[in-house]
Structure 1
Amino acid sequence: MTHRPAVFAIPGDIETLTGGYIYERRLLLGLRKAGHNMAHLQLGDSFPDPSPADRAQAIDALTAVKPERALILDGLVYGSIDPAGLARVTAPIVAMIHHPLARETGLNSERQEHLYRTERANLRLAQQVLVPSGHTASILTTDYGVEPGRITIAPPGTDRPSGRPAPIDPPLILSVGIQHPRKGHDILLRALARIHDTPWQAVIVGSAHDPAHAKDLAQIAKDLGLSDRVTLAGRVPGETLAAYYRQASIFALATRYEGYGIVFDEALSCGLPIISCRTGAVPDTVPDTAGLLVPPDDHTALANALHTLLHDGPMRQRMAQAAAEAGRLLPGWDDTARIASGVLNKLTR
């Protein structure tokens, strides 16, 4: 079978450790492994708020892609590139939307409306749309007018964990997510402060994606008297993160919104019970038997859930077993690439 060659246009450094970049890096490699001639086109790192130079460079680069190739275009570009410029692209476009930019946390109404209008207009120019979850697909059909027949769900793959669980004492609460307001680490810190009398230790892994917010988190931890029990680890090597997963007893992420959340799959595959928030795609990703979900922005409810799991060993063990069982059923990255390959091969010129 002849596989459609393609260009994957991604702004910024593809080695960035966020769920979206991890997904796209693994998808690029997976499509190459599946037999596609895949080129990586790096766009400017100022997206989704591009400088004039990065915006112009992106239009020039995208319009230069030959029509015999497909163009997979990362969602960070969709809310910030001129639809008139994107309309000049002759290659068939596949939009890669993890979650719409207009759904980001902390936007003012003017910025939100601009992103929504631009994303909606640009999505009309995509022949096909790849999304990681049914939740994102539903948003695009309901709010953005994308026909269901143009959308394909390609769930992220999961690497099987290396080594056996080796939980430490006091129990380790692990949180993984960039230091950005959407991830809700501030809520987690306030929840941990409410259960200060319970034995636990916590590690928050994730790069300082928003430096000002990262500084605020460090100050919150200090003000709450948590500096000796909470480690804001920042970005860590893969082997260090794997060790944290083995040592943890609970995975907790107080996210305000997720279009999918690869870290939940990682926690399931490691057999960790999950405490998170009932928002976005989280309820579809975390099985009821493997986790406790609370309303977002509610540190009291989050503290109660943490207290329950820390004090109820049998419940924690049942949830750990359910998590491990769910983790064994998760797709691999070859499955993600196979789905995306089918999308590329059915494109028309």
Structure 2
Amino acid sequence: MSVLHLVGPTGLSDPARPSGGNVYDVRVAAALQALGREVSVHETSAESLDDVLTGLPAGSTVVVDGMVGSVAPDALTAAEDRLRLVVLVHLPVGLPLPGSPGPEAEVPEARALAAAAAVVCTSRWTRDWLASAYDLPGDRLHIVTPGTDKGTLAEGSRSGHRLLSVGSITPVKGHDVLVAALTSLADLTWTWTLVGASVDPDHATALWSTLHGAGLDDRVTLAGALTGPALSAAYAAADLVVLPSRHETYGMVASEALARGVPVFASDVGGVREALGTPLPGLLVPADDPGALAAALRSWLTDAAVRRALRARAVDRRGSLDGWDRTATELAAVLESVGR
């Protein structure tokens, strides 16, 4: 069997940059190897993608992360007749994101994806967005959602006061919305742990300044980026995961929480509903609405019946989650169809 080449962004394997896309790439590569597929992982920038593709043997199957490939259409079109190209889209780069400055110029993502024999989307939402935004044949778009590892069930505290958020500290993740909600809940008992790299230091400073000004900084822990056992421990210690993002294409944080039986309160955006499943093992609120989020959190913190019901749903959802072996099997089927 020929070597599968996976091309991801620079920093793909850096534990200090554990983005959902990076985790997906690393985990699916390992899962494919466990299935007996030889995988060679390359890290590069969009500017150097052409050099990487030029150096690969003709006829190779190459999975290119969209964070690299979608902004380098010339490299993909130059290689489309020589290589079997598959673009893996975690987040469409042409999508305007609330809370983000967006690209400085138009991103010719449609041309990049047109050069691929197949486009793998990590959620139904992403597939539908790409289908509506670009003139791509429907049979070229495939959905391969992330897997997750079932952890030990979190015990949960009686009061449910331990809140956790996981995600890079950047406006798109909406932590400022949660901070605004928490400042209106000062009369209740709660603690909040924020796990994530400070991608936007100014934004992180503003969050802390708001908390300090409200006299709430002693209830908050900024834990930085965590991976492995340290991240598992953070989930195990949580009563509720709060995902206040302004956008999520899937919401791997939600599935990671549910894999431990921890309910999730989240913004109703992108593919988050897919990650949560039904019946909802948590609550969904409109994005960018501190009042709605505060009301949801108040119900959780003050009503033991709400906590019991949602914890039970989270445990049920845990039982239906698939592992990364399923993700790898589905991706392998896409790759096989490309190789025919």
| Aligned-partner SS, 2:280 | helix
The equivalent residue for 1:125 is: 115
Taking the aligned partners of 1:79 and 1:223, their CA distance within structure 2 comes to 42
Taking the aligned partners of 2:156 and 2:288, their CA distance within structure 1 comes to 31
| Aligned-partner SS, 2:218 | coil
The equivalent residue for 2:181 is: 191
TM-score normalised to structure 2 length = 0.92
Question: Which is further off, 243-252 or 162-171?
Answer: 162-171
Taking the aligned partners of 2:242 and 2:234, their CA distance within structure 1 comes to 13
Change (3 A) 1:235 1:96: same
The equivalent residue for 1:61 is: 52
Question: Which is further off, 199-208 or 145-154?
Answer: 145-154
Whether 1:308 aligns to 2:306 is no
Whether 1:344 aligns to 2:335 is yes
For each residue in 1:67-112, what CA deviation from the matched residue of structure 2 results, as whole angstroms up to 9, or x when unmatched? Answer: 321110001123421x233211121110000120122344558x37
Whether 1:246 aligns to 2:236 is yes
Counterpart residue identity of residue 296, structure 1 = A
Taking the aligned partners of 1:239 and 1:141, their CA distance within structure 2 comes to 39
Taking the aligned partners of 2:64 and 2:162, their CA distance within structure 1 comes to 39
Change (3 A) 1:170 1:291: closer
> Alignment identity in percent?
32
Per-residue deviation, 1:250: 1.2
Taking the aligned partners of 1:159 and 1:338, their CA distance within structure 2 comes to 16
Change (3 A) 1:220 1:288: farther
For each residue in 1:243-294, what CA deviation from the matched residue of structure 2 results, as whole angstroms up to 9, or x when unmatched? Answer: 2222221111110000111110011121122111111111222234311111
Equivalence map 1:217-256=2 (5 Å): 217-256=207-246
The equivalent residue for 2:5 is: 7
Taking the aligned partners of 1:271 and 1:165, their CA distance within structure 2 comes to 9
Equivalence map 1:147-296=2 (5 Å): 147-162=137-152, 164-167=154-157, 171-286=161-276, 287-296=278-287
Counterpart residue identity of residue 275, structure 1 = F
Taking the aligned partners of 1:220 and 1:183, their CA distance within structure 2 comes to 17
Taking the aligned partners of 2:141 and 2:105, their CA distance within structure 1 comes to 23
For each residue in 1:293-323, what CA deviation from the matched residue of structure 2 results, as whole angstroms up to 9, or x when unmatched? Answer: 1110100110000001111111111111111
Taking the aligned partners of 1:279 and 1:113, their CA distance within structure 2 comes to 25
Does the 8 Å contact 1:168/1:247 carry over to 2? no
Per-residue deviation, 1:237: 4.3
Taking the aligned partners of 1:69 and 1:271, their CA distance within structure 2 comes to 41
Does the 8 Å contact 1:167/1:246 carry over to 2? no
Counterpart residue identity of residue 192, structure 1 = L
Does the 8 Å contact 1:5/1:68 carry over to 2? no
Taking the aligned partners of 1:339 and 1:207, their CA distance within structure 2 comes to 31
The equivalent residue for 1:326 is: 317
Taking the aligned partners of 1:199 and 1:106, their CA distance within structure 2 comes to 30
The equivalent residue for 2:28 is: 27
Taking the aligned partners of 1:71 and 1:264, their CA distance within structure 2 comes to 29
Deviation above 3 Å: which 4+ runs of structure 1? Answer: 104-109
Counterpart residue identity of residue 78, structure 1 = G
Taking the aligned partners of 1:102 and 1:146, their CA distance within structure 2 comes to 15
Counterpart residue identity of residue 88, structure 1 = A
RMSD: 1.9
Does the 8 Å contact 2:196/2:224 carry over to 1? yes
TM-score normalised to structure 1 length = 0.90
Question: Which is further off, 214-223 or 317-326?
Answer: 214-223
The equivalent residue for 2:61 is: 70
Change (3 A) 1:335 1:315: same
**Runs of at least 5 residues in structure 1 that lack an aligned partner in the other structure:** 45-49
Does the 8 Å contact 2:160/2:300 carry over to 1? no
Change (3 A) 1:107 1:308: closer
Does the 8 Å contact 1:178/1:209 carry over to 2? yes
- What is the number of residues matched between the two proteins? 333
Taking the aligned partners of 1:320 and 1:133, their CA distance within structure 2 comes to 25
Change (3 A) 1:313 1:37: same
For each residue in 1:206-259, what CA deviation from the matched residue of structure 2 results, as whole angstroms up to 9, or x when unmatched? Answer: 111222322222222222322111111111343232222222211111100001
- Equivalent position to 2:326, from 319, 332, 335: 335
For each residue in 1:145-192, what CA deviation from the matched residue of structure 2 results, as whole angstroms up to 9, or x when unmatched? Answer: 222211221111110113652437672011111111111011111101
| Aligned-partner SS, 1:175 | strand
| Aligned-partner SS, 2:212 | helix
Counterpart residue identity of residue 309, structure 1 = W
